[in-house]
Amino acid sequence: MKYNFLGRSGLQVSALGLGTWATVGESIGHAHTVEIFQAAQEAGINHVDTAEAYAAGLAESEISASLDEIGWNRDDIVLATKLYWGIRPVVNWGETLNRKYLLRSVDGCLRRLNTDYIDILYCHRPDPHTPIDEVVFAMSDIVASGKAMYWGTSEWPAGSIRDAIDFAEKYGLRAPTVEQPELNLVWRSRYVQEYLPLHRDTALGLVTWSPLASGLLTGKYAGKTSGTERAFQTGMEWQRDRLLNGARDEVATFVELARDHAVEPSQLAIAWCLRREGVSSVLLGASSVEQLRINLRAQETAEVISDEVEKRLESIFVTDLERHE
Ligand SMILES: NC(=O)c1ccc[n+]([C@@H]2O[C@H](COP(=O)([O-])OP(=O)(O)OC[C@H]3O[C@@H](n4cnc5c(N)ncnc54)[C@H](OP(=O)(O)O)[C@@H]3O)[C@@H](O)[C@H]2O)c1
């Protein structure tokens, strides 16, 4: 496993990280979660990503139970979680980054994760209603309190991240260290237009999500499905059509290209992400150990694909595939 510095920080994260969205506490049970974590540890993964909102807090509890069962030393893991969506349907407690919510909710994360610190605490989305100074002060205070080591943003416009960095620098506060955007072959314009220039300017770290566009880039939706795949999961209705019908011809051409190079489509898709400038860690999602093992081999694929293959890949998927959140 390769390890990269998280932006300009001194913290190293594995080039492949393990995510827990829609899987841990949801589509997979405890025994499989433990197996997946064990395989991740054996492969040298040290970066585990979750969020307060994943399975409404259950993903965080499942992570701590699984790490405990494996005996994976907490200090050996870079554990990330996120705040914004909330899990209580009460005013001030959801879709917000207000100070009260941030400072109180972090304690819930710590309790569920059964730890006294989080390595990376993300603001899961931008909040147009809370001023940037309130957010930066709150996140900086959380870092200063030791409850989080670093803080980051997810899916924030580059201009807002820049404002947060400038504000923090002006007032001697902790600035965000990392942004977590979606990045894959069918969703890459924002990386090119916003995050890559920002990374070049400020050395902001990038941890990217959905390298397979939720499974689309495995090619499996073109064949016979079992009905247990993510597209059919409750709560995934918003991306069902994208998964079942999105970019069919392009995906077919992509799968053929992967086969021509004797690799799995998922390995080629993840390898493309691994090769992107500024990306510290690519977060994988897996609903079985087999999937994780296949996807981990993307590291080897990333070493051998040529610039020509990479160009060919990018020419297959010319425009972003529309997504709705
Ligand atoms: N910051 C954010 O807003 C945000 C948003 C989303 C995700 N994330 C993070 O990023 C992580 C990764 O995102 P993701 O889960 O969407 O990643 P992904 O790699 O795009 O999708 C993972 C899913 O694809 C399917 N899959 C994976 N490998 C496969 C294989 N070899 N063959 C067939 N199917 C395969 C599995 O779903 P099925 O088997 O169920 O079909 C798996 O759960 C998340 O877990 C989360 O931690 C962050």
Atom of ligand 1 nearest to the CA of 290: 31
| Residue 312 resides in a domain | no
Q: Is 267 in the pocket of ligand 1 (CB under 6 A)?
A: no
10-residue stretch averages of pLDDT, the chain, 325 residues long: 98 98 97 98 98 98 98 98 97 98 98 98 98 98 98 98 98 98 97 98 98 98 94 94 94 97 98 98 98 98 95 94 73
| 21-67: pLDDT as tens digits | 999 999 999 999 999 999 999 999 999 999 999 999 999 999 999 99
pLDDT of 319 reads 87
The range of the structural domain enclosing residue 10 comes to: 3-218+277-289
pTM: 0.98
Q: Is 194 in the pocket of ligand 1 (CB under 6 A)?
A: no
| Residue 7 resides in a domain | yes
State in Å: Cα 285 to ligand 1 middle: 3
| Residue 230 resides in a domain | no
| Residue 227 resides in a domain | no
Residue 297 makes CB contacts below 8 A (sequence gap 6+) with: 263, 264, 267
Q: Which of 77, 113, 208, 230 is the pocket-test mutation for ligand 1 (most atoms within 8 Å of CB)?
A: 230
| Number of domains the chain contains | 1
Q: Is 220 in the pocket of ligand 1 (CB under 6 A)?
A: yes
Q: How far apart are CA 122 and CA 132, in angstroms?
A: 14
| Residue 149 resides in a domain | yes
Question: For the chain, first and last CA: distance in Å?
Answer: 33
pLDDT of 325 reads 60
State in Å: Cα 118 to ligand 1 middle: 22
pLDDT of 28 reads 97
Classify burial at 262, counting beta carbons within 10 Å of its beta carbon; exposed 0-12, middle 13-18, buried 19 or more: exposed
| Residue 104 resides in a domain | yes
Helix, strand, coil % (nearest 5) of the chain? 50, 15, 35
Q: Is 153 in the pocket of ligand 1 (CB under 6 A)?
A: no
CATH number, position 167: 3.20.20.100
Classify burial at 73, counting beta carbons within 10 Å of its beta carbon; exposed 0-12, middle 13-18, buried 19 or more: exposed
| Residue 295 resides in a domain | no
